[in-house]
Amino acid sequence: MAILNLWGCVSLFSLGCGLVAFVGKRKHLLNALLSLEFIMVSTFWLMFGVVDFLGAESYFMMFFLTLVACEGALGLALLVSIVRSHGNDGLSSFNILSC
């Protein structure tokens, strides 16, 4: 039981660190994407601990990992597109409203 509490505390701490990195560092798009991936992996580990504790089936976890991988691929494709069109991934170098 103590290991489960430690597992949950570490997962919540890493989730909080990811949120702080996402909110605090908005200089480059790559930093934002990496912190979003960190948040998703932390959420996965938290959900894995809960599902393992409850003894439920882990099919939902595989579906969640599939969505996380698709989100990462979409983010990288967006990053490549922005770097090709604007020259860098700095969030201050382009205006979202001007297409």
pTM of the model: 0.78
Kindly indicate whether the domain formed by 1-87 is annotated with CATH number 3.40.50.10140. Answer: no
Most distant CA pair in the chain, distance? 54
pLDDT, tens digit, 9 for 90 and up, residues 12-34: 888 888 888 888 877 888 888 88
15, two tokens: 């989730």
Helix 2-24 and helix 29-54: axis angle, to 10°? Answer: 160
pLDDT, tens digit, 9 for 90 and up, residues 48-87: 888 887 887 778 888 888 999 998 899 899 888 888 887 8
Band (pLDDT 50/70/90 cuts) for residue 97 is low
* Helix, strand and coil percent figures for the chain, each rounded to 5: 80, 0, 20
74, two tokens: 């979409």
SS3 (DSSP) at 80: helix
Q: Domain boundaries in the chain?
A: 1-87
Q: How far apart are CA 1 and CA 23, in angstroms?
A: 33
